[in-house]
Structure 1
Amino acid sequence: MRLVVLAAGQGFRLDGFHKLRMRDPRTGEALLARFGRLFAGWDITVVLGYQAISVMNDFPGFDYVYNEHWSITGNSYSLSLALDERPTVAISSDLFFEADLVSLISEAPGDAVFVQHAENKQAHSVRCSADGGRVTELYLGEPRRAADVETLGIYKVSTPALLRTWKRDCAKNRSVFCGINLPVTEGAFAVVDKGDRFLHEVNTHLDYLSLIKRVGSGG
């Protein structure tokens, strides 16, 4: 299995601080090093744009792809540059999680969307509608239905035809979140709930402060 980390954006809500440089408040481990440890044995590709040379210089042991259009494209275009027909897990570059979530990802069906039942729903999140445990729709914004859940920004695709379609649509619709371009017709993707496994997304200073408090309290 292959991991693609989507990390081309500027992180403008973090004063331009590159998200892969964020550190675990408990150990000081940089987020990119953390991905390398948690996904040891996987082929790992990191798509960079903003501050690419500084990340590559400090973490030379990864396979990198450069999105030269990072300032005018979304992570869909970044993903289109990296995708091929290898089974792939694509993740956002702002997620702190533990080994139990990696186990869930590994053991999940080959084509899957990972979700959570979030209490504090973010307006910019990609939502998932499902029927019988299969994804029926992915969309951006406020929930359209009470049962709709929030995606984690983690997608697993193994079927070659789905990978080809996803790559094509991400290159075409390059300014949206890559999840929006996932070819979810005909129930191709399973919905996998993370349950109570730890996951924390950091997009702002307050998110990082919340992470410090959360890991400090063991929550």
Structure 2
Amino acid sequence: MTGRFITLEGGEGAGKSTQLRALAMALRARGLEVVETREPGGSEGAEAIRTLLLTGSADRWSSRAEALLFAAARADHVEKIIRPALARGAWVLSDRFLDSSRAYQGGADGLADADILALHRIGSEGLLPDRTLVLIAPQAVVEARLAARDGNHSDRIGGRAVNFHRSVAGSFQRFAAQEPERMRMIDASGGITDVTDRLLAQLNDLLQ
């Protein structure tokens, strides 16, 4: 059995965490071993860095410091969780990965994409997902989901200005247009089952 690495990407409130759980359930029903994970986090070391990244004041870290911290967390995550699971034939589903760093610290915060990719090459040996599913939802849907999830208590990245998050969304769309084989845009509006079916449809070729 060939292990597969699938990432779910998108802006805040797109429904990634909900869909990751639903997709994992659907893949397990097909007899696959599935590892659910997230970024920043996933491994013990990366979870410690996650706390540093998502708590504190908005200006706690510069964009460059953030990029380095994300790269360090990802390196540990890849080494301790992702590569071992793939080696034994498991499917790994991750809520965010490299493309979030490209969109948040790169596209929205102004760092060069080449620099983000260089950090990834050094820290994680350039590992890329087999398929990246980018969830896109209307603004009204996103706002309702965020209100239900966070109330008035967003983390230091999720709580940034609307223009920042619009830039993030634009970056994801640009990446998907540049890499259509790896990255697929998914309409994340509607019922959970409907969205999960759309995700599965974009994995059919990997499930053969």
TM-score if structure 1 supplies the norm length?
0.29
Which structure shows the higher strand fraction?
Answer: 1
The structure, 1 or 2, with the larger RCO (C-alpha pairs under 8 Å, 6+ apart) is 2
Which structure shows the higher helix fraction?
Answer: 2
